[in-house]
Structure formats: structure tokens, C-alpha cells
């Protein structure tokens, strides 16, 4: 049985991870008494006892505990769900679908940084096209991303739920100064040389996310149809082995709530062309998968990733990385 300690288990992301791991026969969750939740020495003791520690903390608190772990010489594998280390040297980006090599790096890493929610959708649709040469690293990307309010934590959840029916909370665009904290990882891990123009929006729904990247056909390197782009993304995700997961999709490859056959590769699945005309942002709420669609026409294409901001966008992604690491510990 593997020992796992979640530092920050009472926050939104931590609670979702606990829910996913509770009852698993192969995992013992190490708990800490309420009065010691902010005691750095007590937390270090728990981290030292664990095979894997998952940090669900604010950025500065995450940096502080990692520095303390390093100073104490503790060898526990750490998965950090904050944005503190997503572009830091010595940390492996926890998105195994980037490549088989990325998955192997996660499998053997001691320091893994969990991707951000908006970043996960953007990177999933852009990185394979940059890697294949279809998009230039200098591509001037634009990203529109609609998220549920749960990504803002307990405070934002309480704020939205106490303002149901208030038109000021129906749909709110934010980070208008183009300084959103996900931009550095969106740029680095997609393979771009400059950050996208990023338009994040919070909607009046709890969980779910849609991240879209519009592209004019003339912006590709060479001439490519929408079917070509779909084929390139399909080829990329078909090279990847299935992830370790608690609730795999059915053997027929049908995702709950859809009638579309999916390519079962990890937690990211490519929808067939022309599978949907309307996409609901909360369609995958409570699930850990991501659906990618290639919509539009040959002149104007919209790449869309649909997932749960707390699933593949946070807690589910951390559990996915945990499964890869535990597989390594089992030999």
C-alpha cells in the first residue's frame, strides 16, 4: 500500500483529490490533525512518511514547503497543484499526453508540477500542431476560455452561490491586462515563442471548462484542411499509451453523455469531425477526461478542448500523474 499525503486537503482541489482516492485499496491517505495543518514541522513529518506528497496550496506556501523539504533532505516525490513551479527548472510538467517521453519523465520524476486548467486545454490543442510543424513557434495565438467558478476556490464559490440570479455574475471576463498566471506555462509547453492573447471568462456554473483557439487557414505552415488538422491531432494522441485511471471509459469507447466513438488515449479524446453544433461548458463536470473537437471549415477553424476545470484541469490531472508515479514505484 502506497502512502500519500495531501498538504492542503481541505481546499477545493485537495478535497476533490481526496474524493478520488478515498477507498482505494492500494493507497493510504496520511491525515494530519486540524491544529497542525499550518505547522511546517508536522507537515514535513507527514511528507517524509509519504511515498508521494500532493501540494494543494497557494503559490507562496508551496514554495515555502518545497524549500523546507529540500533543506531537510526529504526524498518524497512531490506533485505540486499550484502554479509555483510550472515553468521552473528541475520540475517535470505533469501533462503525459505531450509525448511518450513526457510520460516517462513523469514516471521517474521526484518533482512534478500540475498543469493549470486554462493551460491544459490550450496546450492540448496547440502543442501537437507546433511540434508537427503545422503551426510556427511564432504563431500569434488567441485563446478564449470559459470556466466554472469553482476554480477560484471556496471564497469564489461562496460569492457566486450567494449571488444566484444577480446579472453581474452571469458572465465575467477577467485578467484583462494580459498578465494571467497561466500565460508562462501556456507559452512554454505549447512550444510558442510568445504568449497568446488570452481571454478567460468565469461563468455562472460551478464546474466545467471550454478552451478554444481560432485559426485562419492561411496561418498554417503550408496548406492544410480542417480534416488534415484533425488527422494530425488524432495521430498525436494515438501514439500515447492509455493512462492509469480509476474510471476508464467503456470498452466500446463511448463517453458518457455522447454517442461519439472516441480514440481512447490517456485522458484526452478526439471527437470525430462534425460531432457537435453546440458545446456546453459544464458537459464534463465531475469527470477527468478531455474532449477535443476541430470545428469550423477549411478557411476558419476553431480548436476546442472541453473538460472539467477541477478534473483534467486540476485534481483529476494530479491523480493521473499519481497513478503514473505509483506504477513506477511498483516496478
List, for residues 196-208, the tens digit of each pLDDT value: 999 999 999 999 9
Superfamily of domain 2-115+316-329: NAD(P)-binding Rossmann-like Domain (3.40.50.720)
pLDDT reading at 217 higher than 90? yes
Q: Is 117 a catalytic residue?
A: yes
CATH H-level superfamily of 117-309 = Dihydrodipicolinate Reductase; domain 2 (3.30.360.10)
Task: Please provide the average confidence, as pLDDT, over all residues in the chain.
Answer: 89
Read off the pLDDT band of 249 (50, 70, 90).
Answer: very low
Phi-psi region of 73 (alpha: psi -120 to 50; beta: other; left: phi over 0): left
Choosing from 56, 117, 143, 321, the catalytic residue is: 117
Domain with CATH 3.30.360.10 in the chain: 117-309
Distances (CA, A) of 262 to 99, 129, 270, 326: 19, 20, 6, 27
The boundaries of every CATH 3.40.50.720 domain in the chain are: 2-115+316-329
- Given a cut of 60, whether residue 254 has pLDDT beyond it is no
Average pLDDT over residues 61-84: 97
Task: Check residue 66 and report its DSSP letter.
Answer: H
Q: Is the pLDDT of residue 257 over 70?
A: no
Structural Rg of the chain based on CA atoms: 20
Amino acid at each position: 500500500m502506497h502512502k500519500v499525503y495531501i498538504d492542503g486537503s481541505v481546499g477545493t482541489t485537495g478535497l476533490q483529490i481526496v474524493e478520488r482516492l478515498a477507498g482505494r485499496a492500494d493507497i493510504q491517505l496520511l491525515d494530519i490533525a486540524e491544529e497542525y495543518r499550518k505547522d511546517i514541522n508536522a507537515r514535513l513529518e507527514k511528507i517524509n512518511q509519504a511515498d508521494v506528497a500532493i501540494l494543494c496550496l497557494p503559490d507562496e506556501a508551496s514554495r515555502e514547503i518545497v524549500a523546507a523539504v529540500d533543506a531537510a533532505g526529504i526524498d518524497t516525490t512531490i506533485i505540486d497543484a499550484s502554479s509555483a513551479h510550472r515553468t521552473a527548472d528541475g520540475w517535470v510538467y505533469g501533462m503525459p499526453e505531450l509525448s511518450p517521453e513526457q510520460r516517462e519523465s513523469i514516471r521517474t520524476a521526484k518533482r512534478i508540477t500540475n498543469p493549470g486548467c486554462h493551460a491544459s486545454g490550450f496546450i492540448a490543442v496547440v502543442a501537437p500542431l507546433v511540434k508537427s510543424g503545422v503551426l510556427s513557434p511564432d504563431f500569434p495565438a488567441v485563446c478564449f476560455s470559459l470556466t466554472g467558478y469553482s476554480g477560484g476556490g471556496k471564497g469564489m464559490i461562496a460569492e457566486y452561490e450567494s449571488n444566484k440570479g444577480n446579472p453581474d455574475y452571469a458572465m465575467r471576463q477577467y485578467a484583462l491586462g494580459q498578465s494571467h498566471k497561466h500565460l508562462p506555462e501556456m507559452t512554454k509547453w505549447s512550444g510558442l515563442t510568445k504568449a497568446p492573447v488570452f481571454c478567460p471568462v468565469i461563468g455562472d456554473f460551478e464546474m466545467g471548462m471550454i478552451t478554444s483557439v481560432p485559426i485562419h487557414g492561411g496561418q498554417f505552415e503550408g496548406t492544410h484542411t480542417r480534416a488534415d488538422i484533425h488527422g494530425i491531432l488524432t495521430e498525436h494522441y494515438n501514439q500515447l499509451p492509455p493512462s492509469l485511471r480509476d474510471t476508464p471509459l467503456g470498452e466500446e469507447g463511448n463517453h458518457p453523455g455522447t454517442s461519439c466513438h472516441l480514440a481512447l488515449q490517456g485522458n484526452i479524446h478526439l471527437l470525430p469531425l462534425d460531432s457537435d453544433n453546440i458545446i456546453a461548458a459544464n458537459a464534463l463536470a465531475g469527470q477527468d477526461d478531455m474532449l477535443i473537437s476541430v470545428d469550423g471549415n477549411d478557411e476558419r477553424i476553431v480548436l476546442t478542448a472541453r473538460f472539467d476545470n477541477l478534473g483534467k484541469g486540476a485534481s483529476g490531472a494530479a491523480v493521473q500523474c499519481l497513478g503514473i508515479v505509483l506504477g513506477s514505484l511498483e516496478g
